Every structure is written in structure tokens, then in C-alpha cells.
Amino acid sequence: MKTIFIALVILLSISLSNQATADDKTLQGQAKIDSLLKELPKAKGDTNEVYLYKSLSYEFSNIDPNKGVEYGNLGLDLARNIKWRQGIAESYNSLGLNFESQSNYQKALEFYGKALNIYKEIKNNRGIATNLGNIGVVYAKQSDYSKALGYFFRVLKINENLGSKSETAIYLGNIGNIYYNQYNFTKALEYQSKALKINKELGNLQGTALNLSNIGSIYFEQSDYLKALDYIEKALNIFEKLENKFGMGMTLGNIGELYSHLSQDSVVIKPLELNQYVSLNKSINLNKSINYYLRAIVLFKEIDELNYRSDYLKKLSFAYRQKGDYKKAYEALDEYKKFQDSVFNIDKEKEIANLTAVREKEVTEKELVISRLENDQRKQESYVLYGGLSLLGLVVLIIFRQRRQSEKLLLNILPAKIAKRLKKRKADIADDIENASTVFIDLVGFTAYSKDKKASDVLKMLNQVFSRIDKLVLKHGLEKIKTIGDGYMAAAGVPEFQEDHSKRAADFALDVHKELEKFNSENGTDISARIGIESGPMVAGVIGEMKFIYDLWGDSVNTASRMESTGTPNKVHITENFKLELEKQQYGFAFSKPIEMDIKGKGKMKTYFMER
């Protein structure tokens, strides 16, 4: 579903959230450009003229980035001449925006970086936040979600300290969007909900609608279709109240996608999900899907939005094909292809349309009738062909599903980001991780339990325990690295940056002990665990070519293993370094008195046992 966007903060005092649509921005931009150009002749070569150039540069970024660069450079030259540092920074920022619009991300990062340095120099925190955010957006557009998260968390902290609620809401939403793209839907929901709460408090209807729509997308991915529909419908109501046709078109299209999904034979609809909106009858859901697609297409036509109109024509064609209406499927597909051409070359399409009009005036009525009859005959032949192609489409769908299954298997072995790089055939996947936390767990009492048991019973018990630990990994957002016998290794902060990696690791470890107590109570067993944790730099990467594995290396990893092996059952054994990491962030954990012990390969070390 296409509701998740990255909000974009552009200038010092201007924030662009994703409620501003491509079409809306163009219309606003043209009107604003006309107004700014009228003011330009009155300019007196001062800071106001720099603002005029900067504003023109920004407005043109949505229409003609080349022009935007021209005005950005004019503003930059004037700001330099009058030695106005803030004006130089804002000009750099507007230039970065235009390069970003051109997808010249290297140049965009260069100019955002220059602006950031000046804002730091003049101690302008809002400017710092703006440019950190813009840099994060560029990394997000490049799918470097780890770096994007790092920048967004920094911006979030600055805006919270400044008391900037609207900007805080934007970046809470942005962080939620990144987690959505990482398939971490629990975290995505958490941050979108926080953003929604603030936008409601501020009375920001656009932001509220976007958050509602994004939350609907998350519930859709979690197969909670009733909640998904409820949230997207609420978003639609707000967009209708605001008369935001782009937002209306997007939400109508998303509802169409939801009903299209519910019409698939592979989707099981639970009885609790049935109401006046959701039906067990697949054909009813399919018809609703078609209806919503048509409404979205009409709106996109009204605002002359070609990309999304084209996209939903394609989806509409697929829906008609599923329904067995090959004539309408063909017509929608034919229109989709026309729009594909127009998206790439609008001028040529206009020229062809003009030539066609001239030709039709020149031919006689009789020739037109013959031409139309021939076209009808060709269309009839195409419908037959299309029916045959639907069979081919079924084969393609089967292959696609098999590929999706293969991808799921790969994601069970490797983190999503690493799997993506591996699929691109990137060799030597190895990353330097600046700071992350490693957790080692060793089950105590497992050997005694397995002594007189069948191998199948032992394996069953081990699988039950590790499955519970797997759920805790997901709950706290860690990455499972591997299991070795009755040992378990996980890490927080890999492969994606996590500002609170130490807290995640600590909470996870303490919850493992609780879960084992619960398991023993339910099964009459006596299984406990030694757990060791350390944080610090490490190397993470993929080894092997056949049965590859994602693994971690480094001194901090080795030390975490030593903490486990020298630990005590039912305790979490940590280093002084990890204790300081938790205290620095003021997470509120309790620690034992320091224990000095001789650690293999490290010598004398102060260590601690940790608890809540």
C-alpha cells in the first residue's frame, strides 16, 4: 500500500511534511513564484533579497530544479557579498533541495553538509535540526535506513529540547516510516502513534490524516484488515474535509488495494473481521476494489496527476481481469500504456494528439466508419488474446509466489538489509559497526535434562525454549545471530543503528530469565541461563558461499562471550563499560557491587550483575 512517505523539512522556518502533494506543491509554487517575481525588482541588495532568491529557489525545486539552482546561486552570491552567514547557509540548503529533486544525492549531501557546518558555527539549533533532517531524508531515499535513523533520532532530540512540537511530530513519523521499510511494524506503529497524538493536539489535520493513513498501512501489513480499513477511512474523511484531492486519491486507492487483497483466494478472512464493510464473498470485495480504483483515477485526472493515475489504471486492469471482464481489463491496460508514454514524454504525446486531430478532419466520414470497424475487429481479437494471456499471467503469479517464498526463507537466515545486498550480488558484505551490544546466552541444566531423554524430546524442548527467546528478540528489536548447541547469540544495533541498543539488550536479557521461570513453571523443568553482555565496536558480515551466515567479530563480541562463561545462572553478567553505557543514558537499571575477576584474554576486569 502506498501511504508511507518520508516527510521533508526544507528551510529554517519552513517544514514540508508529506501532506503536500506533488500536484498541490506545483500549484502553490507557481502562484508563489509569480508573487515573488513581482517583489524582485523592488529588492535593495540586502538580506530581504537573499530571502527572495532562496524562496524562488525552493519554489522552483518542485517545478524546474535547474531554475531553482540558478536562483539558489544568485542568493548565495549576494549573501557572500554582504557577508551574511545565515543567508549563505539557507542558500546552501535551497541548493541542496534542488539537487535532491534532481536525484543528485551526492551534490545534495554536499550542500546540506555545508549549510550544517555554518549553522553549527552560528549556533542555530533550528538550522542544525533542519539540515540533519534533510541529510537523513537523502539517506532514506537511497535506502540507507541505518544512517537515516541515526540522523532522524538526532533531529528528534533537538526538536524535543527546542519544544518544537510540529517538527517533533514530523520526525516521529519519519522514524516510523523507516521502521515500516525495515518491516519492523511494531516500532513503526509506536512512532506513528506518537506522531498522531501530537498532530491531534496541535490541530494539524494534514499531519493527522497522514499518520492515520500510515497506521492503516501498518495494520494492513499485519493482516489486521478491519483496523487498516478503519484508519484509512478516517484519513479519507479528513482529506475530504480539507478538499485535498491528492490525499483523497491516495487513500481511495489504498482502500481499493485492501479490497483487492481480500478478494484473493489465498487470503483467509476471520469471522471477527466480518462487518458491513468486509465480506466473505470474494466477488463483492473485488467489485468494491474496482469502485475505489475508479474513484481514485477520477480524482487524479482532475488534478492532472499522471504517475498515480497510471499506477491505478494498471491495478484496475488486473482487477477486471480477475473478474473475467477482459474487455474492460484491456481498455484499462491500454489507457495505462498511454499514460506510461505520457509520463516519459508529454510533449511527444501532445504532438501526436495534434497530428491525429488534423488527420481526422481530413478523412471523410466513410473512411472514419471503416477505420472504426477495423479498430473494433482488432479489439475483439485482442480480447481473445488477453484471455489467453491471463493464463500466462497465472503462471507468472505462481513463479512470483515461489520467489516470495524463497525471499522469506532468505529473511529467516539473514537480516533484511543484508539479504537485499546479497540479492544484488554484492561480494564481501562486511560493515564496521561503531557501537552495538552483543548478548550471549547459555542454558544451564539442559545437559542433565537431556541425559535420559529421547533425541526427539530433547530437540522439542530446545525448540520450545529458543522459540520463546526468538519472540523476545522481536519484542525488543534485536537481531538473532545464531544458536550453537544450547547456546544463543543475539545483538542490538546491528545491522541497523539503534540509539538505545544497550537498553534493548539489557531488557531482553532480563526478560529471558523471566521467560525461563515461566517455562519451568509450565513444564516442570529446571532450566536456567547464564547471560553475558558487552557493547562496543565490531565487524558484522556474511561468511560462506553455500550455507552462508551473518556473524559478528571483534573484541566486544569476545568479551560478551567471556561475560557469559564466567557468569552465574539466573544472572546477567556485564562489563563496567556496558554499565557506564546504561548509566550514561539514564535508563535506571540496578547493579551489584563491582566484582573483580580474571577474564581470559583480558586480564583483571571489573564486572557487575545487573537487574531492574
Q: Sorting pLDDT into bands at 50, 70 and 90, what band is 59? A: confident
Strand pairing partners for 590? 611
Q: Sorting pLDDT into bands at 50, 70 and 90, what band is 38? A: confident
Give the single-character DSSP code of 475.
Answer: H
Residue 394: phi and psi, rounded to 5, are: -65, -40
Q: Sorting pLDDT into bands at 50, 70 and 90, what band is 298? A: very high
Domain of residue 505: give its range: 429-611
134-173: per-residue pLDDT in tens? Answer: 999 999 888 888 899 999 999 999 999 999 999 999 999 9
- The percentage of residues in the chain with a pLDDT greater than 70, rounded to a whole number, is 76
Q: Alpha-carbon distance 332 to 315, whole Å?
A: 9
- Higher confidence at residue 576 or residue 412? 576
474-518: per-residue pLDDT in tens? Answer: 888 898 988 888 899 999 998 888 888 999 999 999 999 999 999
What CATH number does the domain containing 512 carry? 3.30.70.1230
Q: Does residue 177 belong to any structural domain of this protein?
A: yes
Mean pLDDT over 252-275 rounds to 70
- On the question of pLDDT at 26 being above 50, the answer is no
Q: Which of 581, 7, 23 is nearest to 301 (CA)?
A: 23
Q: Alpha-carbon distance 38 to 32, whole Å?
A: 10
- Last-in-domain residue among 160, 184, 208: 184
Q: Does residue 507 belong to any structural domain of this protein?
A: yes
C-beta separation of 607 from 563 below 8 A? yes
Is this prediction's pTM over 0.95?
Answer: no
pLDDT for position 558: 92
Strands 487-492 and 549-553: unpaired
Mean pLDDT: which of 12-26, 316-330, 371-385 is highest?
A: 316-330
Q: Does residue 344 belong to any structural domain of this protein?
A: no
Q: Does residue 456 belong to any structural domain of this protein?
A: yes
pLDDT for position 509: 96
Count of domains for the chain: 2
- On the question of pLDDT at 315 being above 50, the answer is yes
pLDDT for position 40: 82
pLDDT for position 311: 85
Q: Does residue 585 belong to any structural domain of this protein?
A: yes
Mean pLDDT over 398-413 rounds to 49
- Last-in-domain residue among 184, 213, 232: 184
Q: Does residue 86 belong to any structural domain of this protein?
A: yes
- Last-in-domain residue among 135, 153, 184: 184
What CATH number does the domain containing 165 carry? 1.25.40.10
pLDDT for position 428: 60
Strand stretches in 453-506, DSSP E:
479-484, 487-492
- On the question of pLDDT at 10 being above 50, the answer is no
pLDDT for position 131: 92
3-state secondary structure of 517: helix
pLDDT for position 322: 81
Per-chain mean pLDDT for the chain: 80
Q: Sorting pLDDT into bands at 50, 70 and 90, what band is 222? A: confident
Q: Does residue 222 belong to any structural domain of this protein?
A: no
pLDDT for position 414: 62
pLDDT for position 362: 46
Q: Sorting pLDDT into bands at 50, 70 and 90, what band is 434? A: confident
Mean pLDDT over 263-291 rounds to 65
- On the question of pLDDT at 264 being above 80, the answer is no
90-135: per-residue pLDDT in tens? Answer: 999 999 999 988 888 899 999 999 999 999 999 999 999 999 999 9
Q: Alpha-carbon distance 153 to 139, whole Å?
A: 14
- On the question of pLDDT at 582 being above 50, the answer is yes
C-beta separation of 137 from 8 below 8 A? yes
Q: Does residue 88 belong to any structural domain of this protein?
A: yes
Mean pLDDT over 458-463 rounds to 86
Q: Sorting pLDDT into bands at 50, 70 and 90, what band is 569? A: very high
pLDDT for position 143: 83
Examine residue 271 and say whether the peptide bond preceding it is cis (omega within 30 degrees of 0): no
Long-range CB pairs of 387-393, under 8 A, 24+ apart, other chains included: 387/326, 390/321, 390/326, 393/321
